[in-house]
Amino acid sequence: MSLDLTLRPPVATDGMPVHRLIASCPPLDTNSAYCNLVQCTHFASTSVLAEGAGEVVGFISGHRVPARPDTLFVWQVAVSEKGRGQGLAGRMLAAILDRPENEDICYIETTVTADNAASWALFESFARKRNAELVRSVLFDRELHFAGSHDSEMLARIGPFRQQALHAVSH
């Protein structure tokens, strides 16, 4: 079933629907409702919400890396059952990067466990579509950082995005 979707920056009233969406998308880690409210307000320009048929069906939370503001860190990608199978996650990533206020973003970084095939497929596809390189490395090690309680988180770094990088240099 294909939904008529709207992609937009989130607002404060989206915090609880986002919280419920993330809870319905295991294995995503749930955060506090307050965290999701902050994501929907403080990080609205680097996050995106997908609505269809009056409900939240997708959300990407992200922020600029403070030491490298040309880098978008994608925290979570959540797509409900109703939103799956439509390329929504890739469209949401593109919606963030294609906003005028984000034209200077040259890289995306995210962390993904080695066995998360769906996430790897998303980021590999996005890198190909944007003609950018994807480099993998361990960011948070299972033993060193998680005391054995969580799988290692691999850093996926995508970029540079030629169009954005060239545009930023020409200004």
8-22: pLDDT as tens digits = 999 999 999 999 999
- Host domain of residue 84: 5-169
For the four alpha carbons of 85, 90, 93 and 94, in that order, the dihedral sign comes to negative
Distance CA 66, CA 72 (A): 10
> What is the domain-level CATH number for residue 24?
3.40.630.30
Total-model pTM = 0.89
Return the beta strands (E) in the chain as ranges. Answer: 5-8, 48-52, 55-65, 68-79, 107-113, 133-140, 153-159
pLDDT at 165 over 50: no
Specify the number of domains making up the chain.
1
Mean pLDDT score of the chain, rounded to an integer? 91
Q: Tell me which of 106 and 152 has the higher pLDDT.
A: 106
Task: Give the pLDDT of residue 141.
Answer: 85
Q: Tell me which of 125 and 164 has the higher pLDDT.
A: 125
pLDDT at 118 over 70: yes
